Chain A
Amino acid sequence: MIEREVKIINNAGLHTRPAATIVKLAAQYKSEFFIHKDGLNINGKSIIGVMTLAAEKGSTLKLTFDGPDEEDAAKEIIAYFERGFDEL
């Protein structure tokens, strides 16, 4: 299992559009993908789940990846966070 902390760096935060993109990215992999914040463990393959996260600029999330292709999944999804959801 891979565990990583990521920071939200774009101005608008984790709004609906990046939420949709994250879910679409996660759907390409077999591995389980969870987002942890404020005691919530959200399945990253669920759009409605990810939408319940209020993650503004500057907040930190923990991501976990678990499965056969966890490394690729982690790489792509973490990169998307680090690019500020392509909104920088």
Chain B
Amino acid sequence: MPNKQSNVYKGLAAAPGISIAQAYLFKKEIEFISSANIENVDEALRILDEALEKSKKELNKVFSLAIDKLGEKRAAIFEAQIMILDDPILIDTIKNRIRNEKRTPEYIVNDEISRYQSMMDTVNEPYMKERSQDIEDIKLRIIRNIKKKKWQSHITDEVIVVTDNLTPADTVLFSRANIKGYVTNFGGLTSHAAIIARSLHIPAVLGLHDATAKINDSDLVIVDGYRGEVVIRPNDEQLEYYNERIGSLTLYDEELSTLKDLPAETLDGRKISLLANLDISEEVDLIVSNGANGIGLIRTEQLFEELDQFPSEEEQYEWYTQIAERVYPDIAIIRVLDIGGDKILPVDVQEANPFLGWRGIRFLLDNKQLFKTQLRAILRASVHKNIKVMLPMVASITEVRQSKEILEECKKELRKEKHSFDNNIELGMMVEIPSAAVLAHEFAKEVSFFSIGTNDLIQYLLAVDRGNEIVSNLYQEFHPSVIRTIDFIIKEGKRHNVFVSICGEMASDQIAIPLLIGLGLDSLSVSPALIPVTKQIIRNISYEEVQKLVEKCLTAVTEHEVKNLVSAYFDKNIKEHLKSFFVNG
């Protein structure tokens, strides 16, 4: 690949793929708001009414599109927005103020709605700030319609959307057009925008901070969703390079589709269970069509992330059943709610250190009823015996034992209620806290499988918050301590015949795959889109050779050394065989 140039910017690789297209700068600038006095009050009221009607029509469109794309439950978040347009108190006040103060309707609308926002902003709760943002959305929509400006849903096809931040409404609207890519200033891998982009196969690079300042409307932009890079106004050399990559990717996609029914097996016959991570239900089809061996991680957070509330046992039961039946006879590993940390916590608590706070299994054990509701739903869905349960953020043996007791309690209840379920349902755990790694031997006696969560494991092992830009370069997945810890977990797990998988982002890093296979993992769980390429890499690995690679890496003392060993192996053994994919780079 061409050397790093000043027009290449790095962000989060949120959704894979490469696109070259013109930028569409999606800005939510405040319209100019005139505070001028008006003569004709009736005219002003008529304009306001029309703007409200127009806004309602727009939002209804978003609402029904959202039902289509996201399902009824998730779409419900737009209902309150529509209700605001009909709010009798708000609208009456605005109209009265227009009559009394004789100012432009946009001025009064802005002033009146902003009052509510400042009330919300004074509450020191993240969700109130989000609410205030939702209100901002509505306010700008009304004002724009008062000024008779076209709302920005009129996106022409084939553009790369460049924006500050994507709201759920934006994301839904964009999904209708043939968008080529997303670039945002803000937003993380678990944001709404990232999840939707992945499920729609739209390359996305998020969190560039100043993308909207650096990119002008209609600039030619390259989005590389594999590397998390954005090239602004590419030169000929860069264009040629990326066009070649896109060409080979297309070829490669066709080639990969032939892999669907082949096993993920090394050259010397070691079979790997290649699983997929599931964030939203829509991904299930891709998981099946890409030939995964099952689902290694169902993140149940999504169930209530947008519902804003805990789903009922029935709702959960239906959802789990649907997924389990869709992948049957393959397995589906359901991770019980892992909330807290960077993930939404529905109960409003302020923590100085959320990553070290009330999250994962800690939260569930403190909210037993909630935990039981989820376990009961999972058990009831397990009738086909292809479901396993996984506990997140386990730090102590006691947490596993308590969870097992609660699981047994649920079984007892269900038996009494004459529900059928898989009595031998397997219980496993995420190994993502260093204490769990250290006690891997003891944990292996308690559970039937381990899934190594590299994101948190690395963050806790190295004491680096990867969301903190000042230290994020110290977040090193090839740090020797990381490799040795993973090695230790796998060895200890094997002693007790525990099935060991890895589900963090490291498994999605193609260069890391030979190393991970060499470490002796039974399984990798990666995002659905990466199943074919991961399989292809595994099929070009010699298990014997990668075990030697691991030996060398385990004696290395710096990340640099490990990285060099791993890249050298990859370049020599994998890239050679996959030339069609890795052209020039």
Please report A residues at the B interface, Cβ cutoff 8 Å. Answer: 10-13, 15-17, 19-20, 23-24, 40, 43, 45-49, 51-52, 54, 56-57, 87
Contact = CB atoms under 8 A, between A and B. Distances in A.
Interface in B65-94: 76-77, 79-80, 83-84, 87-90
Nearest to A54: B123
Contact of B90 (A10, A16, A48, A56): A48
B156 interface: no
Contacts of B113: 48
A11 B135 contact: no
A10 B84 CA distance: 24
B309 A12 contact: yes
B347 A52 contact: no
Contacts of A16: 77, 80, 131, 134, 308
Given A15-B308, A17-B76, A17-B308, A51 B346 contact: no
B90 A11 contact: no
Contacts of A51: 80, 116, 120, 131, 135
Contact of B80 (A17, A43, A87): A17
Given A13-B348, A46-B88, 12 more contacts: A15-B127, A16-B131, A20-B79, A20-B83, A40-B119, A46-B87, A47-B84, A48-B87, A49-B87, A51-B116, A51-B131, A87-B309
A15 to B, nearest CB: 5
Nearest to B119: A52
Contact of B116 (A20, A23, A24, A49): A49
A40 to B, nearest CB: 8
Contacts of A54: 120, 123, 125, 128, 348
Contact of B347 (A13, A24, A48): A13
- How would you classify the secondary structure of chain B's contact residues: helix, strand, loop or mixed? helix
Nearest to B307: A17
Interface of B: 76-77, 79-80, 83-84, 87-90, 113, 116, 119-120, 123, 125, 127-128, 131, 134-135, 307-310, 346-348, 367, 370
A45 B119 contact: no
A32 to B, nearest CB: 11
A46 B89 contact: yes
B309 A43 contact: no
B89 A43 contact: yes
A13 B346 CA distance: 8
A52 B308 contact: no
12 contacts: A11-B370, A12-B308, A12-B346, A43-B89, A45-B88, A45-B89, A47-B83, A48-B84, A48-B116, A49-B89, A54-B348, A87-B309
A43 B88 CA distance: 10
Contact of A46 (B90, B134, B346, B348): B90
A43 to B, nearest CB: 5
Contacts of B125: 54
A56 B347 contact: yes
A66 to B, nearest CB: 15
B160 to A, nearest CB: 32
Given A12-B308, A12-B310, A47 B80 contact: yes
